[in-house]
C-alpha cells in the first residue's frame, strides 16, 4: 500500500522511525526485537533510515524494511540518499526493494561528508525523487524543514523549493524534528499559501537523556522554546526526572499537533521501544482506531 493513500483514509497517520544498527559488525537482526515491540503499537508504517557513506549502505536499510513489510506485515518506508550514491547504485537499491515488495521510499539528498567524494548523478532530493517516480511502482515521500533547511537562504525560499519535490512526484512530506509547534503551524500556513497541498507529517523526537541534548539537539538547528530550555536546565542532573519530563513534553507537543489538525505524527524514537510506547500511551486516545 502506498503511504499517501493512508492520508485519504484517516485524519492522522502515525508512524515510527528506526535506524540500522550502528555498532561495527552488528547484524540487522539485532534490531528485530525492537521492531516487533514497535509493531504492537499499531503504527501505520515504520521508516528505516539510510546508512552513511553510499555504496552498500542501503543494504541494511533494504533488509530491515523487507523484514518490516514481509515478516511483520507493516508498511515500510525505506530512506534513500543520493549524495554519495551513483545512479547505478540507486537503481540497484530500488530493484532490491521492489523484489522485497517494499513500495515506499523517502527521497533524500543526505548530509555532505567532507571525507567522502560527492556523487553528482543527483544534485538535489527532487532529482532523486523524480528518478524514483519515473522508475514506477513506488510511493515517494520527501523531507521538509519547518524552520528552513540550514543551507537555504530563508524559510520562504525553502518552502518555494518544495514545489520541485511535488512536481518530481513526492506525494507526502515528513518534517525535520522541531520543539516549538508554532514553527510547524507557521510553516504549514506558508506551504498552503504557496499552493503546496501535500500531507505534512510532524516529526517529533522525545528528548529523554543528556546525551540527546548534547548530540541531537545541538546538531538539529531546531529552535528551543522557553519551556523546553527550562525543562533541560531543571532536570539536567537528574536522569530519571529528565526522562519523565522529556516524555511529557513530547506527549504535550503531539497532543497539541493532533488537535490542531496535523496530517500525521512521525515519531523519531531512536530505536527505543520503551520511549515509543510511553509516548503512544499518552496520545492513543487521539489517534484513529488501529486496524
Res. 54: pLDDT tops 50: no
**Mean pLDDT calculated for residue range 273-286:** 98
Res. 55: pLDDT tops 60: no
* Residue numbers annotated as active site: 17
Q: What is the Cα–Cα distance from 125 to 139, expressed in whole angstroms?
A: 15
pLDDT at position 220, please? 81
Q: Which residues are CB-neighbours of 170 under 8 A, at least 6 positions away?
A: 107, 126, 129, 133, 140, 141, 142, 198
Res. 290: pLDDT tops 80: no
Domain map (residue ranges) of the chain:
3-286
pTM for the model stands at 0.95
- With beta carbons less than 8 A apart as the criterion, state whether 16 and 36 touch: no
Coil, strand or helix at 136: coil
**Mean pLDDT calculated for residue range 286-291:** 78
Res. 262: pLDDT tops 70: yes
49 secondary structure, DSSP code: P
pLDDT at position 213, please? 84
- With beta carbons less than 8 A apart as the criterion, state whether 187 and 146 touch: yes
pLDDT digits (tens, 9 = 90+) for 116-146: 778 888 989 999 999 999 999 999 999 999 9
Q: What is the Cα–Cα distance from 270 to 152, expressed in whole angstroms?
A: 27
- With beta carbons less than 8 A apart as the criterion, state whether 181 and 256 touch: yes
pLDDT at position 69, please? 98
Question: Parallel, antiparallel, or unpaired for β 13-18 and 75-81?
Answer: unpaired
pLDDT over 70, % of the chain: 97
Distances (CA, A) of 15 to 36, 208, 215: 14, 19, 23
Res. 191: pLDDT tops 60: yes
pLDDT digits (tens, 9 = 90+) for 57-115: 578 999 999 999 999 999 999 999 998 889 999 999 999 999 999 999 999 998 877 77
Closest Cα to residue 69, out of 109, 96, 107? 96
Q: What angle do CA 248, 253, 259 make, to 5 degrees?
A: 125
pLDDT at position 52, please? 55
C-alpha cell at 110: 543526505
What band does 229 get if pLDDT is binned at 50, 70 and 90? Answer: very high
Helix/strand/coil (H/E/C) assignment for every residue in 71-107:
HCCCEEEEEEECCCCCHHHHHHHHHHHHHCCCCEEEE
- With beta carbons less than 8 A apart as the criterion, state whether 35 and 46 touch: yes
User: CATH classification of 3-286, choosing from 3.30.365.10, 2.60.40.10, 3.20.20.220, 3.30.2350.10?
Assistant: 3.20.20.220
Residue 45, beta-bridge partner list:
15, 75
Q: What is the Cα–Cα distance from 213 to 268, expressed in whole angstroms?
A: 14
C-alpha cell at 261: 489538525
pLDDT at position 291, please? 55
Amino acid at each position: 500500500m502506498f503511504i499517501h493513500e493512508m492520508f485519504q483514509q484517516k485524519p492522522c497517520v502515525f508512524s515510527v522511525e528506526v535506524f540500522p544498527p550502528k555498532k561495527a559488525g552488528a547484524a540487522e537482526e539485532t534490531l528485530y526485537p525492537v521492531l516487533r515491540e514497535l509493531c504492537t503499537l499499531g503504527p501505520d508504517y515504520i521508516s528505516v533510515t539510510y546508512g552513511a557513506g553510499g555504496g552498500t549502505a542501503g543494504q541494511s536499510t533494504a533488509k530491515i524494511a523487507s523484514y518490516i513489510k514481509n515478516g511483520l506485515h507493516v508498511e515500510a518506508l525505506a530512506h534513500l540518499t543520493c549524495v554519495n550514491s551513483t545512479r547505478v547504485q540507486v537503481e540497484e537499491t530500488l530493484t532490491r526493494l521492489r523484489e522485497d515488495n517494499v513500495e515506499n521510499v523517502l527521497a533524500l539528498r543526505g548530509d555532505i561528508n567532507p571525507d567522502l567524494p560527492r556523487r553528482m548523478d543527483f544534485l538535489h532530493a527532487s532529482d532523486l525523487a523524480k528518478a524514483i517516480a519515473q522508475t514506477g511502482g513506488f510511493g515517494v515521500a520527501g523531507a521538509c524543514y519547518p524552520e528552513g533547511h540550514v543551507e537555504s537562504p530563508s524559510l520562504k525560499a525553502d518552502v518555494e523549493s518544495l514545489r520541485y519535490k511535488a512536481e518530481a512526484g513526492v506525494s507526502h512530506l515528513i518534517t525535520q524534528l522541531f520543539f516549538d509547534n508554532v514553527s510547524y503551524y507557521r510553516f504549514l500556513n506558508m506551504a498552503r499559501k504557496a499552493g503546496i497541498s501535500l500531507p505534512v507529517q510532524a516529526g517529533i523526537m522525545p528528548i529523554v537523556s543528556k546525551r540527546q541534548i548534547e548530540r541531537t539537539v545541538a546538531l538539529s538547528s531546531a529552535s528551543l522554546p522557553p519551556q523546553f530550555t527550562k525543562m533541560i536546565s531543571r532536570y539536567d542532573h537528574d536522569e530519571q526526572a529528565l526522562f519523565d519530563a522529556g516524555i511529557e513534553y513530547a506527549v504535550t507537543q503531539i497532543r497539541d499537533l493532533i488537535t490542531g489538525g496535523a496530517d500525521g505524527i512521525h515519531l523519531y524514537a531512536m530505536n527505543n521501544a520503551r520511549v515509543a510506547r510511553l509516548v503512544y500511551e499518552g496520545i492513543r486516545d487521539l489517534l484513529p482506531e488501529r486496524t
